[in-house]
């Protein structure tokens, strides 16, 4: 399963590269390698997300934000043929949950978009956040800003909504194309991480409460 999970998330055509390259030999690169080695080794994901001894929390979180962004982008690419403006005219999680997009620039007020439009705006926005070196500094000795954690919480909350939409509206397709175990592993990793560091409000997690109780034990 570990090797299959790794290969699933190495699909070049759906991988979205960011400007934030992790250069070999840097602290951030070493953390990235450590996080991925642990994930692919098949260890307990609850333990994998815990901060390694003597590592800096903000760096550990930053590495995972970038990794989750890329993995979730791959997942959204995998189901792109099934998630269209015709099939998904709103970014929703069933009849009870609907998400409107607002970035304060192009969309100054919460705006109803189709699921693919919402996802595209989301990925562009997250990429811009990650590549903002005032928010995600890359130089050694440069401090993270005071609004870093609050910004991370906003990023992770919005990325979680992609899981909500895919699980509720496209779960059957995930099973059909054989992606279910890979997406489940990614979701479990994401959930344990945000739960460990309190990065997504409990209320936001409600749409997948039953799923979480079933697979995150």
Average pLDDT in the 30-49 region? 63
40 annotated binding-site participant: no
165 annotated binding-site participant: yes
Average pLDDT in the 151-157 region? 98
Q: What is the C-alpha to C-alpha distance for residues 217 and 213, in angstroms, rounded to an integer?
A: 6
Q: Where does the pLDDT of residue 103 fall: very low under 50, low under 70, confident under 90, or very high at 90 and above?
A: very high
Token match 């749409």: residue? 207
Does residue 12 have a pLDDT over 50? no
Q: At what angle do helices 115-130 and 57-78 cross, to 10 degrees?
A: 150
Give residue 152's pLDDT: 98
Give residue 43's pLDDT: 65
Q: Where does the pLDDT of residue 217 fall: very low under 50, low under 70, confident under 90, or very high at 90 and above?
A: confident
Task: Share the mean pLDDT of the chain.
Answer: 85
Q: Where does the pLDDT of residue 2 fall: very low under 50, low under 70, confident under 90, or very high at 90 and above?
A: very low
Does residue 150 have a pLDDT over 90? yes
Give residue 17's pLDDT: 46
186 annotated binding-site participant: no
Return the minimum-mean-pLDDT range out of 21-30, 81-90, 134-143, 157-166: 21-30
Q: Where are the beta strands (DSSP E) in the chain?
A: none
Average pLDDT in the 146-161 region? 98
Q: Sign of the CA dihedral 111, 112, 116, 117?
A: negative
Listed by start position, the domains of the chain span 2-15+25-215
CATH topology of domain 2-15+25-215: Butyryl-CoA Dehydrogenase, subunit A; domain 3 (1.20.140)
- Sorted by sequence, the CB contacts under 8 Å of residue 117 that are 6+ apart come out as 85, 91, 101
**Cα Rg of the chain, angstroms:** 17
Q: What is the C-alpha to C-alpha distance for residues 172 and 20, in angstroms, rounded to an integer?
A: 35
The token pair at 32 is 């990235």
Q: Sign of the CA dihedral 44, 47, 49, 53?
A: negative
pTM of the model: 0.85
């Amino acid at each position: 399963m570990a090797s299959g999970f790794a290969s699933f998330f190495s699909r070049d055509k759906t991988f979205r590269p960011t400007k934030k390259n992790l250069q070999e030999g840097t602290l951030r690169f070493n953390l990235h390698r450590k996080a991925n080695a642990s994930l692919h080794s098949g260890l307990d994901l609850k333990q994998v997300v815990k901060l390694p001894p003597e590592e800096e929390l903000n760096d550990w979180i930053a590495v995972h934000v970038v990794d989750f962004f890329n993995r979730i982008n791959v997942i959204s690419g995998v189901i792109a043929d099934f998630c269209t403006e015709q099939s998904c005219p709103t970014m929703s999680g069933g009849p009870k949950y609907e998400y409107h997009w607002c970035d304060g620039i192009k969309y100054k007020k919460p705006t109803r978009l189709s699921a693919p439009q919402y996802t595209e705006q989301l990925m562009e926005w997250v990429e811009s956040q990650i590549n903002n070196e005032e928010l995600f500094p890359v130089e050694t000795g440069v401090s993270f800003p005071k609004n870093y954690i609050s910004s991370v919480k906003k990023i992770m909350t919005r990325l979680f909504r992609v899981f909500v939409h895919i699980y509720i509206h496209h779960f059957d397709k995930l099973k059909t194309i054989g992606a279910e175990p890979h997406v489940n592993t990614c979701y479990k990793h994401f959930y344990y991480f945000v739960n460990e560091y309190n990065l997504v409000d409990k209320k936001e997690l409600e749409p997948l409460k039953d799923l979480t109780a079933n697979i995150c034990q």
